[in-house]
Amino acid sequence: MKRAAPKASKASARTAKDLLPLDLPSGPDFAREKKIMRRGVTPVAGCDEAGRGPLAGPVVAAAVILDPKKIPAGLNDSKQLSKHAREALFEEICATAHISVSSISARFIDQSDIRKASLEAMRRAVLGLSIAPRHVLVDGRDLPALPCDGDAVIGGDGLSVSIAAASIIAKVTRDRMMERVGIALPAYGFEAHMGYGTKQHRDAIAAHGPCAYHRLSFSPFTIDLP
């Protein structure tokens, strides 16, 4: 007589998804900062920039030292957040953390290049902090020249809450600057595209030519710089 197959226990009937933590929380955390702080190195700052790609406006960098006991909920890469969420987190970061912001003009970018300008903006932002950090986590591949140790973290704004906070401060600050430029120069619509190369922006350049805020070393400009 053929034996009936034994019934699977509840445990054996579970799927791999039930047994393994496949749905781990996504987004940045404070793990890198904690690892550094356990060595007795504190404070730790995060640093990021906004505005490498636009055809106009400054590149803006921010440095942030978070209070480990008052880390705002919902910190993430600024590009992953809505404008409303960025604005709300901007206010919360300013109320609970040490922050510093620096901007580098389009003319400086034209006279050097965007990489050097971005690194200089980040360097100035770190030096502007009211408390000198002993370690800095920087988004990207390169470290600016700093008077302390640091780590370049590729994709850092999605991995470290300190870098994420800096990305939010830099992005909101730059957007507000470009909105003010848009009021001063309404023909270009800066408040809508923040200087990026949208069709609306390129059409405005074709109709009115470049203004003082445009990066003349960027395509589509072909102006010889001194």
This prediction has a pTM of: 0.87
Strand, helix or coil for residue 98: strand
The stretches of the chain forming alpha helices (DSSP H) are 10-13, 16-19, 31-37, 83-96, 106-111, 114-127, 161-184, 190-193, 199-208
Does residue 221 lie within any of the structural domains?
no
Q: What pLDDT is stored for residue 67 in this prediction?
A: 97
Residue 169 has pLDDT above 70, yes or no: yes
The radius of gyration computed from the CA coordinates of the chain, to the nearest angstrom, equals: 23
Does residue 152 lie within any of the structural domains?
yes
Residue 14 has pLDDT above 50, yes or no: no
Residue 18 has pLDDT above 80, yes or no: no
Does residue 203 lie within any of the structural domains?
no
Q: Are 122 and 59 in contact (CB under 8 A)?
A: no
User: For all residues of the chain together, what is the average pLDDT?
Assistant: 90
Does residue 129 lie within any of the structural domains?
yes
Does residue 60 lie within any of the structural domains?
yes
- pLDDT category of residue 221 using cuts at 50, 70 and 90: confident
CB neighbour list of residue 107: distance below 8 Å, 6 or more residues apart: none
Q: What pLDDT is stored for residue 224 in this prediction?
A: 53
CATH of the domain at 155: 3.30.420.10
Residue 181 has pLDDT above 80, yes or no: yes
Looking at the structure of the chain, the number of domains it has is: 1
Does residue 206 lie within any of the structural domains?
no
Does residue 126 lie within any of the structural domains?
yes
Does residue 144 lie within any of the structural domains?
yes
Residue 91 has pLDDT above 80, yes or no: yes
Q: What pLDDT is stored for residue 26 in this prediction?
A: 74
pLDDT tens-digit map of 109-157: 999 999 999 999 999 999 999 999 999 999 999 999 999 999 999 999 9
Q: Are 156 and 137 in contact (CB under 8 A)?
A: yes
* Mean pLDDT of all residues in 82-106: 98
Domain that holds residue 73: 25-174
Least confident of 1-10, 38-47, 51-60, 111-120: 1-10
Instruction: Using alpha carbons, select from 211, 158, 157, 218 the residue that is nearest to residue 184.
Output: 211
Q: What pLDDT is stored for residue 19 in this prediction?
A: 45
- pLDDT category of residue 25 using cuts at 50, 70 and 90: low
